[in-house]
Amino acid sequence: MVRKTREAAAATREALLDAAERVFRAKGVAHATLADVAQAAGLTRGAVYWHFRDKAEMLAAMCERAALPMEAMIACCGANLKLPPLTILRNNAVQGLMRLARDTRTQAVFDVVFNNCESNDEATPLNDRRRLNDEGCRQHVAGLLRRAIDEGALPADTDAAMAAEIIKAFMLGVMHAWVQDPRAYDLERNAHQMIDVLLAGLVARPPRVVGKSIVPYQARTVAAD
């Protein structure tokens, strides 16, 4: 049984990525072999190497089927403009958590990204993508915060960049911790509360600009041996 039709081939590709989610999650990306993935999909390494050049490309393709952590936030900011910016921010954040709480694929990909993937060479495309939309999220949130400052919802000397960092860190931490142990609490039910706590804190005691707290970004390099 070989030479499937085009749709069948696309289906096996998806099956391989489904298997990759399970195997990478269980064994870790580095420790998992492509034979494991193929076997989990009921195929052989031939199929894997037909659809993907190597493990790195497979990992990238797997992650492209789901939204990355911070991407989930700004992805679903629909046509609800004209709402107060802090409300938009709240909706975005809650939507990001809701997507994670409900979509099992997002859960699998996040679990791999957070806990089962080392940021080495074979994850560079993934990490590049993360950097990009982490920065996009920063900009998006900081923009909303500046609008909130303009509208008087936050004091004028609010450190918007630091506030954005705080929000991003909180989202990251909630997602990371929950994905690590989804049984700890019902994220879908508590997402609103959690976001509201942080936003209330931002309003009650916003970070102020004191000096040059935020320095321009510069890629870090860690030297080996």
Q: Which of residues 173-192 bind DNA (CB under 7 A)?
A: none
Judged by CB, which is closer to a second copy: 78, or 115?
115
> x/- string (CB under 8 A) for a second copy, residues 141-180?
------------------x-xxx-xx-xxxxxxx-xxx--
Residue 194 binds to a second copy (criterion: CB under 8 A): yes
Shortest CA distance to 55 belongs to which of 79, 1, 19?
A: 19
Residues 6+ apart with CB under 8 A from 56: 121, 122, 123, 124, 125
172 binds, among a second copy, DNA, none (CB under 5 to 8 A by kind): a second copy
Judged by CB under 8 A, does residue 82 bind a second copy? Answer: no
Q: Which does 12 bind (CB under 5 to 8 A by kind): DNA, a second copy, none?
A: DNA
- Under the binding rule (CB under 8 A), the answer on residue 217 touching a second copy is yes
Give how far Cα 27 sits from Cα of 24, 51, 107, 108, 142, Å.
Answer: 5, 22, 16, 13, 38
Residue 96 binds a second copy, judged by CB under 8 A: no
Q: Which residue has the tokens 């060479």?
A: 121
Q: Which two tokens stand for residue 37?
A: 């993935």
- Residue 12 sits in the site that holds DNA (CB under 7 A): yes
* Residue type at 139 in one-letter notation: Q
HEC letters along 83-94 = CCHHHHHHHHHH
Residue 49's binding partner out of DNA, a second copy, none, with CB under 5 to 8 Å set by partner kind: DNA
Pick the closest to residue 201 from 173, 162, 175 (CA basis): 162
Q: Is 188 in the site for a second copy (CB under 8 A)?
A: no
Partner in contact with 51, chosen from DNA, a second copy, none, beta carbon below 5 to 8 Å by kind: DNA
DSSP notation for 36-70: HHHHHTT--HHHHHHH-SSHHHHHHHHHHTS--HH
Q: What is the C-alpha separation between 57 and 54, in angstroms, rounded?
A: 6
Nearer to DNA, 17 or 100 (CB): 17
Shortest spacing between CB 4 and a second copy, in angstroms: 22
CB-CB contact of 25 with 104 (8 Å): no
Assess 75 for contact with DNA (CB under 7 A).
no
Residue 98 binds a second copy, judged by CB under 8 A: no
Residue 202 binds a second copy (CB under 8 A)? yes
Query: The tokens 């936003």 sit on which residue?
Result: 199
Binding site for DNA (CB under 7 A): 1-6, 8-9, 12-13, 33-35, 38, 43-47, 49-51, 54-55
